[in-house]
């Protein structure tokens, strides 16, 4: 700042006062910025912990035997998200597989996901019907659902000895079933709406007989609704082709291939939605 002649003491005093006030304001601004950065770092650390907890909730090791090969991947778009999968043994012959996608993003979706996953797991341990399992989850999640969240679900129970697959689809993306001849069946039957969307729904179930070396692919819309720079969706047809063209390799390689192709399509650092993919191949003993 500068003052022109003739110099007035009152003007000098006012200018000095203004400069001192500006200096104090800048100091307060920098102090506030430092506080914000500290809080931001703390929140980021907490979110990172939340992401670690969420990823720890889904299995990393899967039942693989002469009868079955399984692998799955979960990649939240943010630190935490609402997609999930689960794989667990019910008894010596039956295994439960499920995949879900909670509405919304972030911490609320992650918490809702954790409750949904726990309800399915606990119910499946004492109930062999996918319809009753999903109906139970819907009844529980519909209670006190002030956030109006919901979750699409595909739950199935596979008898690894006989190849019988019992399924309930609650508003989820229809899975793909690839046969040994390369053909693909879309499991398009829907057994009810998304869970927690409508209270009091009674879900149904479907039964499918798998054939030797059938491959089941479950996925969330983070795959099919991924878009490129022109806003063109990845789409189900592209995913079908990837599965149809897959000839050899493990379930881990297939699942990772699907995820990598999705990222490749949408471009670097453009993941807009959570991604979950689960592959299961049944071998007749």
Q: How many domains does the chain have?
A: 2
Instruction: Please check whether residues 42 and 80 belong to one and the same domain.
Output: no
Instruction: Please check whether residues 102 and 40 belong to one and the same domain.
Output: no
Q: What is the pLDDT of residue 54?
A: 66
User: Per-residue pLDDT averaged across 105-130, rounded?
Assistant: 88
DSSP 195: B
- What CATH number did the domain enclosing 71 receive? 3.60.40.10
Instruction: Please check whether residues 155 and 236 belong to one and the same domain.
Output: yes
Give me 166's structure tokens.
Answer: 């019992």
Q: What is the pLDDT of residue 177?
A: 97
CA distance 40 to 234: 34
Per the model's pLDDT, the better-predicted residue between 249 and 251 turns out to be: 251
Q: What is the pLDDT of residue 150?
A: 94
pLDDT digits (tens, 9 = 90+) for 58-96: 889 898 788 899 999 998 876 567 789 999 999 989 999
Across 7-21, 76-90, 151-165, least confident range: 7-21
User: Per-residue pLDDT averaged across 238-243, rounded?
Assistant: 95
Domain boundary among 12, 27, 57: 57
Instruction: Please check whether residues 28 and 77 belong to one and the same domain.
Output: no
**Which helix H or strand E contains 111, and what residues bound it?**
helix 106-124
Is 178's pLDDT higher than 70? yes
Q: Among residues of the chain, what percentage have pLDDT more than 70?
A: 87
The C-alpha angle with vertex 132 and arms to 168 and 154, in degrees rounded to 5, equals 25
Q: What is the pLDDT of residue 175?
A: 97
The pair phi, psi for residue 231, each rounded to 5°, is 65, 25
CA distance 141 to 148: 10
Domain boundary among 31, 57, 83: 57
Cα 4–chain centre separation: 67
Instruction: Please check whether residues 113 and 245 belong to one and the same domain.
Output: yes
Instruction: Please check whether residues 205 and 193 belong to one and the same domain.
Output: yes
Is 11's pLDDT higher than 80? no
Instruction: Please check whether residues 72 and 198 belong to one and the same domain.
Output: yes
Q: What is the pLDDT of residue 64?
A: 79
Instruction: Please check whether residues 124 and 158 belong to one and the same domain.
Output: yes
CA distance 84 to 73: 9
pLDDT digits (tens, 9 = 90+) for 132-150: 999 999 999 998 888 889 9
Q: What is the pLDDT of residue 262?
A: 94
Instruction: Please check whether residues 40 and 79 belong to one and the same domain.
Output: no
Instruction: Please check whether residues 41 and 133 belong to one and the same domain.
Output: no
Mean pLDDT of the chain: 87
Q: What is the pLDDT of residue 184?
A: 96
Instruction: Please check whether residues 274 and 156 belong to one and the same domain.
Output: yes
Which residue range(s) make up the domain with 16?
A: 1-57
Confidence of residue 46 (pLDDT cuts 50, 70, 90): low
Q: What is the pLDDT of residue 25?
A: 73
Is 1's pLDDT higher than 70? no
3-state secondary structure of 188: coil
pLDDT digits (tens, 9 = 90+) for 179-235: 999 999 999 999 999 999 999 999 999 999 999 999 999 999 999 999 988 889 999
Q: What is the pLDDT of residue 216?
A: 97
Instruction: Please check whether residues 198 and 232 belong to one and the same domain.
Output: yes
* pTM (2 d.p.): 0.81
Domain boundary among 57, 76, 102: 57
Q: Describe the chain by its helix, strand, coil percentages, rounded to 5.
A: 40, 25, 35
Is the separation of the CB atoms in 130 and 67 below 8 Å?
A: no
């Amino acid at each position: 700042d500068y003052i022109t002649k003739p110099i007035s003491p009152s003007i000098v005093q006012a200018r000095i006062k203004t400069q001192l006030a500006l200096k104090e304001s800048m100091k307060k601004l920098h102090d506030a910025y430092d506080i914000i950065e500290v809080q931001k770092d703390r929140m980021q650390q907490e979110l990172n912990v939340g992401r670690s907890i969420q990823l720890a909730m889904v299995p990393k090791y899967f039942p693989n035997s002469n009868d079955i090969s399984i692998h799955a991947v979960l990649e939240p778009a943010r630190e935490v998200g609402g997609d999930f999968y689960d794989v667990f043994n019910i008894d010596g012959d039956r295994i439960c597989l499920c995949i879900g996608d909670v509405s919304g993003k972030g911490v609320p979706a992650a918490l809702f996901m954790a409750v949904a996953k726990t309800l399915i797991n606990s119910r499946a341990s004492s109930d062999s019907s996918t319809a009753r399992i999903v109906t139970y989850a819907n009844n529980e999640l519909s209670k006190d659902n002030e956030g109006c969240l919901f979750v699409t679900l595909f739950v199935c129970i596979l008898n690894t000895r006989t190849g019988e697959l019992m399924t309930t689809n609650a508003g989820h993306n229809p899975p793909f079933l690839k046969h040994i001849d390369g053909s693909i069946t879309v499991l398009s039957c829907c057994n009810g709406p998304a869970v927690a969307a409508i209270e009091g729904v009674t879900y149904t179930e479907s039964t499918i007989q798998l054939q030797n070396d059938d491959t089941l692919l479950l996925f969330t819309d983070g795959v099919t609704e991924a878009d490129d720079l022109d806003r063109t969706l990845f789409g189900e047809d592209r995913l079908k082709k990837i599965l149809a063209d897959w000839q050899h390799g493990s379930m881990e390689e297939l699942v990772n291939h699907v995820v990598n192709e999705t990222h490749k399509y949408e471009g670097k650092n453009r993941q807009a939605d959570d991604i979950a993919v689960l592959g299961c191949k049944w071998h007749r003993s």
